[in-house]
A and B are shown apart, each in its own frame.
Chain A
Amino acid sequence: MVTDPVCKMQIDEKNAKYSYLYNGRIYFFCSVGCSVEFSRYPQDYAENTSEKKEVSPGQGSGSV
């Protein structure tokens, strides 16, 4: 489980439909609204996220 950095909900990353790559890390979201909000203010939300998934070279971008 990971935390949606916008709404702080706990979500299952395996089933998350929305994700966003920012500064080499993938973030997962509960909804398109949260993913779009993150894309507008990534620096605000990424700073406050404690659970982040690292992206290894060659992994998919995971963009919305």
Chain B
Amino acid sequence: MCRFLCYIGSEKILLEDLLYRPKNSLILQSYNAKERKEPLNGDGFGVGWYTPEISPTPCVFRSLTPAWSNQNLRRIAEHVKSTCLFAHVRSASPGMRVSEFNCHPFQYGRYLWMHNGTIEGFSRIKRRLRESLADPLYDAIEGTTDSEHAFAVFLNLLQDTERLFPAHEIANALVRTVAQLEELTSNAGITAPSYYNFAVTDGQSIATVRYVSDPTLEPISLYYSEGNKYECHEGFGQIVDGHSDHRAVIVASEPLTEWKKDWVRVAPNHVLTVTHNLEVKIDLMETKY
């Protein structure tokens, strides 16, 4: 289990204002997560951000060292601004290797992908999952995680990874990814629950799910906050509303600030989409195959 956050907005923000400065920043969550039984997420980290004036594909920085002590991450965060950012701190699932290749976010073309959760019984479905992939996607897998393989399933369902899709089609592919994983685990006779908090972006929209395969269980935490602008002053960060055409949305495993009213829990087994117009839409997932 891990922690992650996503930012997308009409204005660029400094990475440091999201990763380090808020009271419950992602860096703090790497050693003191509030909404996990195990507060440590020290098995590596990763940050991905977009600079569309240079390239439609994101820049990604990953390391297997803990985020809380990585000075390169600190220096990068102090000097990089972006309108779209993904960041993740990892707590490796039992049996999963700690390796740079296994750190999120994973990247393919214009897409970034993160996962908080576990595909239960992954080793028993891995072969069949890989057999379903197109050759370029099969070859692109570098690590050993269930998360990266789930990303490959998503890309396989998109089919054309070069094309720019509307947000609802990305969200639809994400829901179908969960459905395909559910089918694979069910056919393998796996009954223990899987936890799929996935997040994917193409730099212009975001789709996330908060999902557990047994709907009577509580899924892993996921929140969002939306408004006109994200501001961070003297250690206090929040999304503020005002008379502005600007928009900003943050989706995160835990609220970054102590103002509970700023944060909304994503409903269990629902998909949250942030469109190209930076509007938030939430829909029930229909995943039974």
User: Could you mark each residue 23-39 of chain A with 1 if its beta carbon is under 8 Å from any beta carbon of chain B, else 0?
Assistant: 00000001111101100
Task: Identify B268's interface contact among A8, A9, A33, A44, CB under 8 A.
Answer: A33
For B216, what are the chain A residues with a Cβ–Cβ distance below 8 Å? 32, 36
Give the size of the chain A interface in residues (CB under 8 angstroms).
15
A6 to B267, Cβ gap below 8 A? yes
Provide the bound-state CA to CA distance between A36 and B282, in Å: 18
Provide the bound-state CA to CA distance between A40 and B268, in Å: 12
Residue among B215, B265, B268 with most chain A CB within 10 A: B268
Interface check B269, CB cutoff 8 A: yes
Chain B proximity of A2: nearest CB distance (Å): 15
For A40, what are the chain B residues with a Cβ–Cβ distance below 8 Å? 218
For B218, what are the chain A residues with a Cβ–Cβ distance below 8 Å? 36-37, 40
For A9, what are the chain B residues with a Cβ–Cβ distance below 8 Å? 282-284
Scan residues 211-236 of chain B and give those whose CB is less than 8 A from a CB of chain A: 215-216, 218-219
B215 to A32, Cβ gap below 8 A? yes
For A7, what are the chain B residues with a Cβ–Cβ distance below 8 Å? 267, 270, 282, 284
**A6-B267, A7-B267, A7-B270 given; A33·B215 CB < 8 A:** yes
B284 to A30, Cβ gap below 8 A? yes
Chain B proximity of A35: nearest CB distance (Å): 9
A34 to B268, Cβ gap below 8 A? yes
For A6, what are the chain B residues with a Cβ–Cβ distance below 8 Å? 265, 267-268
A36 to B284, Cβ gap below 8 A? no
Chain A proximity of B255: nearest CB distance (Å): 12
A31 to B282, Cβ gap below 8 A? no
Q: Which 6 A-B pairs have the closest CB atoms?
A: A7-B267, A33-B268, A33-B269, A33-B215, A6-B267, A32-B215
What residues of chain A have their CB less than 8 Å away from a CB belonging to chain B? 4, 6-9, 30-34, 36-37, 40-41, 44
